[in-house]
Every structure is written in structure tokens, then in C-alpha cells.
Structure 1
């Protein structure tokens, strides 16, 4: 039996389709009927969505079990809400921590398990991953790299806690249950440890790295192929891999192989029905109107404000040429793991008096947007999504916004 674990919180009822698509791709790629799929969830999972998961697993003859973390780990969730109240209102919900509890909550017969993030599409038979030797290590994972292929930059790396080449992404894990549990209560201890540093973003991932980055089995990158990095490098060829769609990389581009892979899988699931299609058409129309209005606002204010372009270092030359930077224009070099909202607010505070328009090029625009709005900034007046201004050949796209898909 191959044990596979997922975790989900779905307050709006719009996220189950991603996990459902991942589950469908997992089962379609693995013909043997020897999967036991474990879904860790909370009270936000609707009965309708649970039935769809059961329908998908039944279609392939695979075993499926549900675990309500609010019931089985109530004390841990209370601690999380007390110590990290901001996590419940961010893009990374408390469900991100459920993977830290999986080793304790799964049935006693489970000795090892694979964990997948919900935003993955499995384009390979996972039998190979399951058969990987963990040697003496408690878990196996893929080291994290940024879009340009450089080792991860992280507060723990900057503090000298670990080497950036060892920092791993927690979206795909192979876990030895006994060795993992031997580390003790890493949730509580990990949060206390991370609070010694400022700027950590991926709470669950950083806790896992704090404990295991200096001693884990390094997996081949094919087991956690980061779609934003592949798109950034213009790699448009599918190979057997687990594709990880983190950071809003999913759009509606017919010429993008990763978009097509996702929708090919999604279209076969119980989540793709006539109601979804009607919602999709309505959302596209609304998004089109929103983008047009935003473009009108930007055209109106750009001539009256200093333009501040915010993107990574690798994009600077292209943006300078595309937007003809000159005069009072400025380019702020930003890293993908940086607190963009905090950095922009700080820049605004120390800059001379004046009116500025910040043009942001980030796959996490929606998250940054909410943080800037909370700080009193106005979209279209003080900042905007720069991707909307790019031609398609530079990865710009009218319907690129991840919110378009996420909110359906």
C-alpha cells in the first residue's frame, strides 16, 4: 500500500478543485490499485466537496480517508491561532501546518507516507518516489531554488542557520514516520525558534527546514518541479515530473504547456461541470472590466507621479527597455522571498515628499496587494500589477491573474 497525504482548508469552497485535480492526476498516473489517500482537513471542507473527493477516488478504485484536524489536534490549532494569528488571514492558511501533524494523525499501520501540496499535478507514476531509499534520514525533499535557478535566499540562510543549497521546498515530502516523530513536538518548538528571526514567510516550510535542512535525503528536482521557475526560463516541454503550481503560476494561456496540463486533468474531474463553466465565463467578463478600469486609472495618474518599477534583478534590462525608463523613474530590485509590502512602505517613508506609482512584477501580487491595501494604499493610484502591462511574449496576459482561477 502506498500512503499519500494531502491537507486542505477551503473556507470559500473554491480550493477543493485544486486538490481534486492533483488527486485525479495521481490516480490516473498510477494504474495499480494500491493507493491509500489521506486528506487532512478542518471544518471548512463542505460535504459536497468531500463527496466529490470520494467520487474521484472511487472512479479509480483507490482507498480514501478523511481526518478532521480541528477534532484530532484541537490543542495544536488553538496554539497556532494564539501564536500566529496572521497565518489565518494570509494566503498561507493554517492548513499549511497540517503536514507537520500528519505523522501523528495517520493510522498506526502507516510507516512512511508521501505528502503533496494541493497545487500539484502529478505527471509521473509515483511508484518511483515511493521506492526511494530514505537511508538514515527522517524525510526526503527537493532543494528550493529561485526562478533564476539560484539557491534559496531565506532569513535562516542569512542568519547562518543553514546553507541555502540545503533549504528545501515542503510541497512534496517522503516521510519516515518513526524518525519524524522522534524529533518531538516540532510545531510548538519550531514556532518558538522561528520567532527569534524576523521576516519568515512560509511558516510550515521554515519549521521543517529548521529541523531537517541539515539532514534530509535530497530528491531529484523532477519530484517537485516548480512551475514558476520553468515558465521564467521559458521551458515549455513536459517531462515525467510532479509539477508544483505555487505562486500564482496558473493562468488561461493556450500556448502554456503547464496551463494545458492542469486543465486537461481538471476537465476530467467532478469539479468541472456546467456550473463551473458559467462561473468561469462570468468571472472572465468581470476581470476584463476590472483590468480596463485599472488601465484607465494608471494612464491617468502615471503622468502625474514618479514611476517605481519593482521586480527581480534578472528582469531589469527588459523592463527598462519596454518602459523606456528615464528621468525620475526608479527600479527597485526585489527578491521573491522578500516582504514586498514592508519594503515598499519603508521606501515610501524614507523617500522625499512626492507622489509615486509602484508598478509590481511579482507572482504573489494578490498577496502583496492585500497587504498594501491594509496599509492604506490604493490600487491604481499608488500601485498596480505590472504583468497587465506586458505583451504576451514577455509573459504578460490579460487573464494571467491567479485570482481568476482561484475564486471560481
Structure 2
């Protein structure tokens, strides 16, 4: 079973939708069973949680929710890191995966990726003794001088949007958490705090993965998204209508409970059901009226066809013939 983790903070109620689209892209392309782990804070509403449950159940996978309360020591360190307000505290949740999820290994995905391939291919990667597997960051050359100052090598620097973690190997490195805290404390000017910390602590022992496992949208020739995990790193996300990935995002959005097309279909079904009920009632009324008219015609024919009484009644009523008593009766009288 594939273990998959996503992290989100959902202040405006939209990020749960993006997480749902990521899951739909995974479920639609992956045949193996998937066990999902959602790391979240109090901003995830019950309604959106129910939609995530509904989506997962529809594809016959499983899902778990982890309400995150960050350790006090990490909160104190994060308070000095200015870029946290840009990325939100949820970006730090992936750093706690070894302590949160009791599995041997796990795939972590950012909510701005779309999985357009079978995730089992990444899952079956043998990490051996490595802490994690990740893809070299395709945009790091632009800020190479920034990470140099933190002792990080741009040639080996990996992106943390798609990571295959060997949690058992990380747990065996008992000082991993304290090393993470120390890096954040020593470099409060970090512009990508979670990613920098992961590179600082685990960058010396990670497995470089093929580019198609975390292909930046901006570097894909002709925006050919087939057989790739596409990462919309940068200001333009897949859910922006001007994005070249908008069509692919909309394709997977249709598979989720957030789909506007699904709401339209529901309204259309309700309207069709209402019209059908009206037509059925009209047909019943017409049939009833037709039966009444037929019964009236039959009754009228029966009245005309009755002999004796009706004819005698009309003759007596006209006054032209006087009804005589039989002679036998006169004699008796």
C-alpha cells in the first residue's frame, strides 16, 4: 500500500480543494491502494474534511487526519523566520513526518503539483540507506548565492515539493529533529525554511531522482505533462485560469466533490426530475378525464337502450293516452 502525505493550512477554504485535486490526480492514475495522511491545523473545516473523505472512499482508498500543534521550541524558532509568513506554518509540517506517521516510508506531495503518472513508480524506488529521494531544484540557480551563504550546494540542492522519505532511516538518525531546529535558529533569514532545513540535515545522504518525478512547469518543453509529476512552483499555479496547467487542473477538479460541473449536473437532474413528475401528473389527469368521458358515453347509451319503462313513462307524461284498469278489477270493485 502506498503511503501518501499532504500538508495544508486552509484559511480561505480553497486549499482543501487544491489538495482534493492532487488526490484525484493520484487516484485517477494509480492502480495500487493508497493510504492518505492529511497534516492540517484548525482551519480545515468539517465540510471540506467530509469532501476529502468522500473523494477517497469513491476510489476505495483510505485517509487519516492529523491535527497539528507545532512543538513550542519550533514555534519559538519560527517566530524569528520572516519567510514563514510567506509560505505559512503548514510548510513546516513535513519536517515532523518521522514523529507523526508510524510507517516505514512515505511520499510527500505539495498541493501545487499534479500527478499525471502512476505513483507506484515512485513508491517502488529502493532508497536503501538514504534518508530520502528527491529531485534537483530546477530554479535554484537563480538564488544560488543565497543558499551558498547557508553552507548548501546548489548542484546538490533538492526541491521538497515531491519527496520519498525513508522514515525508518531518518529515525535511526536520532539527532534529526535537533539539527533541524538548530539550522532554523542559526539562519532566520532563510527564504525557503523547510526546504533549506531538509537539505541541511539530509542533503548529504539523499538519492537524486529522475526529473519527471518533480518536473517544474516552467521548464517543460511545449507543456507536455504526460507521464510526469508536474510542479507549478512559482507565482502562477495550476488553478489560475491563465496558467498552461489550468486545463489539466480542471480535468481532475471534475473528479472531486468541489467540481462546479457536478453542482450543475445535480441542479439539472433536479430540474429533469421535477419536469418528469409534472408530465406524469398531467398524463394521469388526462387519463382520468378520458375514462370519465368514456364512462359518461356508455351510461348514456344504456339509458337510451332500456325498453318498456322509459317508453311508457314518456307516453304517460304526454297525456295523450289514458291508462285503463283491467276489466277484471272493475268487476271486483
Query: Normalising to structure 1: TM-score of the pair?
Result: 0.59
Q: What are the superposed Cα offsets for residues 45-94 of structure 1, whole Å, 9 maximum, x if unpaired?
A: 11011001001101100011111112xxx5x1x33332222569623111
Q: Please give the root-mean-square deviation of Cα atoms over the aligned residues, in Å.
A: 2.4
Counterpart in the other structure of 1:296 = none
| C-alpha contact (below 8 Å) 2:4/2:36 kept by paired residues | yes
**d(CA) in 2 for partners of 1:28 and 1:37?**
14
Deviations 1:201-254 (A, max 9, x none): 111111100011122000001111111333xxx532222111111222223138
CA distance in 1 between partners of 2:216 and 2:177 (Å) = 26
Deviation at 1:156, TM superposition (A): 3.3
CA distance in 1: counterparts of 2:228 and 2:15, whole angstroms: 23
Partner of 1:52: 51
Cα contact 2:84–2:193 (8 A) shared by 1: no
Counterpart of 1:93 (choices 84, 88, 94) is 88
Change (3 A) 1:121 1:132: same
Q: Distance in 2 between matches of 1:239 and 1:2?
A: 21
SS at match of 1:31: coil
Question: TM-score under structure 2 normalisation?
Answer: 0.72
Identify the residue that residue 157 of structure 1 maps to in structure 2: 148
Look up the match of 1:228.
218
Answer 1 or 2: higher relative contact order, Cα 8 Å, separation at least 6: 2
Q: Aligned pair in 2 of structure 1 residues 101, 198: CA closer, same or farther (>3 Å)?
A: closer
Structure (1/2) with the larger helix percentage: 2
Cα offset, 1:198, TM superposition: 6.1
Query: CA–CA distance in 1 between the matches of 2:99 and 2:182?
Result: 20
Tell me which residue corresponds to 2:74: 80
Inter-partner Cα distance in structure 1 for 2:187 and 2:107: 30
Structure 1: gaps (5+ residues): 278-408
The answer for the alignment partner of 1:140 in structure 2 is 133
Tell me the distance in 1 between the aligned counterparts of 2:8 and 2:59.
21
Cα 1:143–1:154, aligned 2, differ >3 Å: closer, same or farther? Answer: farther
Tell me if the contact between 1:144 and 1:151 (Cα under 8 Å) persists in the aligned partners: no
CA displacement at 1:268 relative to structure 2: 2.2
Structure 1: 4+ residue segments shifted above 4 A? 86-89, 274-277
- CA–CA distance in 2 between the matches of 1:199 and 1:176? 29
Could you list the runs of 5+ residues in structure 2 that have no partner in the other structure?
265-333
